[in-house]
């Protein structure tokens, strides 16, 4: 199993503002809002502890709606089998930004500083997604260097992929090294954590490139998805 603790998260203030859109603009239009934003950003930069663990599990059989893995575990539902079709192994990963940011947000809530807590929580969501993006990009680069294909990266709970498969991922990975646990109700702790999966192999995958956003049930009404696509396009041109 692999572990990486030295991720670099660039809290690019202008990029974050663009992704947050009008809701953050309204906050920053007020002096108190600008103060809360500056404090939340400083807290986020100080408190995030990005980390990830991952491993590869051989695929034994690719069924119509699920994938049988070595050892008998089954994973699937929603778009998983279609997206990972052609894979000879699955990459499974868990990433997190640690407990500090969440603990600080709860402290702010107890102190009735609700706006600063909300801003900090939003920054935590952005930060853990950035770890996911970097981890998926690392897998894509390694696959390309080895002459392999890799599928789009997906997470349980997004699209119609059931959260139940969190149990499978946590059974196959030991996330204790980065301090992440899974509750009986399938909630990860710290809350700002994500589990992810990708197909990998010598043959083309069912779906390559793109993003997990392509399979989200809210994709046609998600303003964040549109803003993220715009920022990505600007950064790559």
Separation of alpha carbons 214 and 223, rounded Å: 13
Q: What is the mean predicted confidence (pLDDT) over 200-204?
A: 96
Q: Give pLDDT, residue 221.
A: 52
Who contacts 131 (Cβ-Cβ below 8 Å, separation ≥6)?
Answer: 7, 9, 50, 51, 52, 95, 96, 97, 194
What residues contact residue 32 under an 8 Å CB cut-off, 6+ apart?
A: 115
Band the pLDDT of 237: cuts 50, 70, 90. very low
Contact 186, 167 (CB under 8 A): yes
d(CA 56, CA 71): 13
Give pTM, 2 decimals.
0.87
Q: What are the tens digits of pLDDT across the range 27-63? A: 989 999 999 999 999 999 999 999 999 999 999 999 9
Report residue 23's pLDDT band, with 50, 70 and 90 as the boundaries: confident
For the segment 125-172, what is each residue's pLDDT rounded down to a tens digit?
A: 999 999 999 999 999 999 999 999 999 999 998 878 899 999 999 999
DSSP letter at 154?
B
Is a pLDDT exceeding 50 seen at residue 203? yes
Supply the pLDDT for residue 210: 74
Domain boundaries 2-232, corresponding CATH code: 3.40.109.40
Domains in the chain: boundaries = 2-232
pLDDT for 212 = 62
Q: What is the mean pLDDT of residues 228-236?
A: 46
Per-residue pLDDT reduced to its tens digit, 68-113: 999 999 998 888 999 999 999 999 999 999 999 999 999 999 999 9
Q: What is the mean pLDDT of the chain?
A: 89
């Amino acid at each position: 199993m692999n572990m990486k603790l030295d991720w670099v998260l660039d809290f690019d203030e202008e990029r974050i503002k663009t992704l947050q859109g009008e809701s953050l603009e309204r906050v920053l239009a007020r002096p108190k809002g600008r103060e809360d934003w500056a404090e939340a950003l400083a807290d986020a930069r100080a408190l995030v502890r990005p980390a990830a663990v991952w491993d590869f599990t051989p695929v034994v059989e690719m069924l119509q709606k699920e994938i049988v893995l070595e050892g008998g575990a089954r994973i699937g539902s929603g778009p998983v089998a279609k997206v990972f079709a052609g894979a000879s192994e699955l990459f499974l990963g868990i990433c997190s930004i640690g407990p500090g940011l969440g603990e600080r947000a709860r402290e702010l809530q107890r102190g009735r500083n609700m706006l600063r807590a909300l801003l900090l929580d939003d920054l935590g969501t952005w930060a853990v997604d950035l770890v996911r993006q970097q981890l998926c990009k690392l897998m894509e680069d390694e696959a390309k260097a080895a002459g392999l294909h890799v599928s789009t990266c997906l997470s349980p709970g997004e699209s119609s992929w059931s959260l139940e498969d969190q149990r499978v991922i946590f059974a196959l990975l030991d996330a204790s090294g980065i301090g992440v646990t899974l509750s009986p109700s399938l909630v990860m702790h710290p809350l700002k954590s994500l589990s992810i999966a990708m197909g990998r192999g010598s043959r083309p995958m069912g779906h390559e490139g793109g993003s997990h956003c392509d399979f989200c049930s809210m994709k046609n009404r998600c303003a964040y998805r549109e803003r993220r696509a715009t920022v990505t396009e600007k950064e790559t041109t």
